Amino acid sequence: MSPNKKVAILFLVVLAAICSLDTVISGCCSKTCTDKQKNYILQVCGHYIMASNTRRLPPKSDPCCAAVRTLQSHGEGMMQCVIDLLTHAESEQYNATVMLYLKRYCTQRSSLFALPSAEVMV
């Protein structure tokens, strides 16, 4: 076998390995959400995620935020999964952008519970 063929084969092997690693890293086999989870989010958060909503957010103690936190505890992309499960009629009725914002809003720690910063004496 000539050196050029060996280099070409080695290149193809390395390329195949990189492509397969990319698939693993991107999360090809992550958990998927269910229609039951989707319906629960729509039921509990429906008022806040309606396309006609005036962008009123729920309190972080609201059952909507609790449902979002529970959903997200199953994996990072779960709200996007719920959005992907929306039917055409549901996607017109509910605002996907607000749903994704709720994911960030409901899962971020409240500043009320932030630890006070340490003072440095000089």
What pLDDT, in 10s, does the model give residues 6-24? Answer: 655 655 555 555 545 433 4
Q: Are 109 and 60 a contacting pair, CB within 8 Å? A: no
Give the Å distances, CA to CA, from 72 to 1, 5, 33, 47. 53, 49, 10, 20
For 101, other C-beta atoms within 10 Å of its C-beta total 16
What pLDDT, in 10s, does the model give residues 42-98? Answer: 999 999 999 998 888 999 999 999 999 999 999 889 999 999 999 999 999 999 999
Question: What is the C-alpha separation between 39 and 74, in angstroms, rounded?
Answer: 16
Q: What is the pLDDT of residue 120?
A: 56
Query: Considering only CA atoms, which of 97, 92, 79, 87 is closest in space to residue 41?
Result: 79
